Structure 1
Amino acid sequence: MAVEIERKFLVKGEVWRRHQSEAALLTGTIYRQGYLSTTKGKSVRVRLAGNQGYLTIKGLTKGVSRAEYEYTIPAEDAQEMLDTLCEPPLIEKTRYKIEFAGLLWEIDEFAGENQGLIVAEVELTDENQVIELPDWIDIEVSDDLRYYNVNLSQHPYSQWSKEGVQETGV
């Protein structure tokens, strides 16, 4: 079984943008994603990352682990599914990748309905893996279901002060 072990953190300030090589600016990839199915404990997601499409099935999160199956699909198919099959609003974000202390951190700067939210994720090989946190990391939100993309699609960050947030647990 494919298992994703991931921890999520809020990002503080703009310091993270300075973690770049002298030779190249920190550049990100634009992501658009939506959900074909979301039920308690599982979701089916369509994603367009740059010019590559993906179909991803995720299971219930237990601790910081969950079953995850991801398959590449043609970008045209992903775009058509996003436009015609996924419930709005779509998740829009730019993902930046930064290596720190031997791990690859993915920083998602959200746009659209989730504008203003910046979340850093790091994938681990073991739930008990000890990690060094960069100085731009704020609080951990791995256990806060509001920050799961599936929940951000149903209850966008821009609406949090206006509504109670329901979580699906995937």
Structure 2
Amino acid sequence: MGKEVERKFLVADPAWRSLVEAHIRIRQFYVAAQPGRTVRVRISDGGSAALTLKFGNKTRERDEFEYPIPLAEAEELMAFAIGRVIEKTRHHVSHRGYLYEVDVFGGVLSGLVVAELETPEDVPDEMLPDWLGREVTGESRFYNASLALGGIPEIAA
């Protein structure tokens, strides 16, 4: 089990694009979701898959368990998805020793760009990059489960 401190931000400036170190095409969906717990399947670059369980209601900190699963089984599980399948490209960008995951969403969520910072400790605001916009940590409409199960945030519409 790993604890994570997760912060989410809208992206205000395209300056991050010149700093991209890697990218991953992701399809993900949920097979169970309720307040305080989710079960997600993620397929990365069409070649590997993982099952992730997240627990907790704290704004920035949750318990997370992740397990690799066979790709064929992940594809089969998609038939049991609740809500929409999320398509996005995740870009890895480093800043001051921290890895930011910048998700550029596709499909009905096109236009939405969210940066996530997951660390074992809380990172002070003064250490954050200038290209980040408004922090949306704690705004459930920007959680991936909400994006899969609910409406589309106005910023992406």
Q: Could you state the TM-score of these two structures normalised by the residue count of structure 2?
A: 0.90
State the match for 1:69 in structure 2: 65
Within-5 A mapping of 1:3-42: 3-20=3-20, 27-42=22-37
1:27 positional shift: 4.5
In structure 1, how many angstroms separate the alpha carbons of the residues matched to 2:119 and 2:35?
Answer: 24
Q: How far off is 1:18 after superposition? A: 1.4
Offset of residue 52 of structure 1: 1.1
SS at match of 1:16: helix
For residues 4 and 27 of structure 1, the distance between their equivalents in structure 2, rounded to whole angstroms, comes to 22
- 2:133 is the alignment partner of 1:144: no
* Correspondence for 2:117: 122
Distance 2:54 2:120 in 1: 17
Unaligned runs of 5+ in 1: 21-25, 162-170
Any unmatched runs of 5+ in structure 2?
A: none
Segments of 4+ in structure 1 off by > 4 A? none
Q: Deviations over 1:109-144 (max 9, x none)?
A: 0011211100001112223x3251112100111111
Check if 1:100 corresponds to 2:133. no
Highest Rg: 1 or 2? 1
Count of residue correspondences? 153
Provide, for residues 77-125 of structure 1, a one-character-per-residue CA deviation record: whole Å limited to 9, x for no partner.
111212x111231111000001110001100000112111000011122
Task: Give the conservation status (yes or no) of the 8 Å contact 1:44–1:57.
Answer: yes
Distance 1:156 1:125 in 2: 31
User: Which structure has greater strand proportion?
Assistant: 2
Match of 1:52 in 2: 48
